[in-house]
Each structure stands twice: as structure tokens, then as C-alpha cells.
């Protein structure tokens, strides 16, 4: 059952994901933020482990080292893990991610 669920989720995403361990913060609401760690990443979104809860469907900004910002929306939440969908185009996201990922990972994201 777990494998079937995993396949269905991956098919729905439509883009390759790679594991990541990037620390950052997530801004939401007028002046709220929480520390986070990016668990996996694709050019359309990320899975993030949070220090505090963030409401479902929130408009958020993921901030990674070097003040690199990614705008997005909380699409799902399971406890302190959330899935964010990026607002920008996959090409723009790939460009921003290139500073954090190695060449092999970037090739996977473009596949």
C-alpha cells in the first residue's frame, strides 16, 4: 500500500525530486516566520520540515542562505512537514537552485 501511494504522489508531481538538507526559514502572514529544513526539492516545489506549524494554503516565502527567496503556497501538511508549491516558473526556480545543488542533482531536476 505504501509503494502504491508513493507512486501515485510521484505521478501527480510530474517532476523529479531530489533529497536535500538545506536550512532556512519560512515567512508567512504579516510578520510570522519559522525555521525549517528542506527535505526534498523539485523545480515545482519542496518538502519542508518546520519548527512550528504553518496554516494550509498559506502564501509563504522560503528563504535559504544568501537571502535567496522562493515564493510559494502550502499545498499539504502532515504535522510539521509541509509541501510547498513554487509560484515562479520551473526555469527560474532551477536557476535559483543551481547555487545550492551539484551538477548531478541539477541534471536530475531537468529530467
Can you tell me the distance from the alpha carbon of 16 to that of 111, in angstroms, rounded to the nearest whole number?
7
Could you give the CA distance from residue 11 to residue 28 in angstroms, rounded to a whole number?
A: 29
CB atoms < 10 A from the CB of 13, how many?
14
Whole-structure pTM value: 0.81
Name the residue with higher pLDDT: 101 or 32: 32
Length of the chain: 111
Any alpha helices (H) in the chain, and if so which ranges?
2-13, 90-97, 103-110
Domain-wise residue ranges, the chain: 18-110
Cβ–Cβ < 8 Å for 39, 49: yes
Domain 18-110 indexed as CATH 3.30.420.40: no
pLDDT tens figures, 62-107: 999 988 999 999 999 999 999 999 999 999 998 888 888 888 877 8
Q: Is the pLDDT of residue 60 over 70?
A: yes
pLDDT at 14 (0 to 100) = 63
pLDDT value of residue 13: 52
With b for 16 or more beta-carbon neighbours within 10 A and e for fewer, the 67-99 pattern comes to eeebebebeebeeeebbbebebeeeebbeebee
Structure-model confidence comparison of residues 107 and 24, the more confident one: 24
Amino acid at each position: 500500500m505504501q509503494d502504491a501511494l508513493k507512486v501515485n504522489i510521484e505521478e501527480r508531481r510530474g517532476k523529479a525530486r531530489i533529497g536535500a538538507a538545506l536550512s532556512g526559514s519560512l515567512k508567512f502572514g504579516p510578520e510570522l516566520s519559522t525555521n525549517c529544513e528542506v527535505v526534498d526539492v523539485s523545480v515545482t516545489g519542496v518538502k519542508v520540515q518546520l519548527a512550528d506549524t504553518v496554516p494550509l494554503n498559506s502564501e509563504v516565502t522560503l528563504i535559504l542562505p544568501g537571502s535567496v527567496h522562493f515564493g510559494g503556497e502550502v499545498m499539504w501538511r502532515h504535522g510539521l512537514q509541509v509541501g510547498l508549491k513554487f509560484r515562479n516558473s520551473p526555469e527560474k526556480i532551477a536557476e535559483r537552485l543551481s547555487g545550492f545543488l551539484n551538477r548531478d542533482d541539477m541534471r536530475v531536476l531537468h529530467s
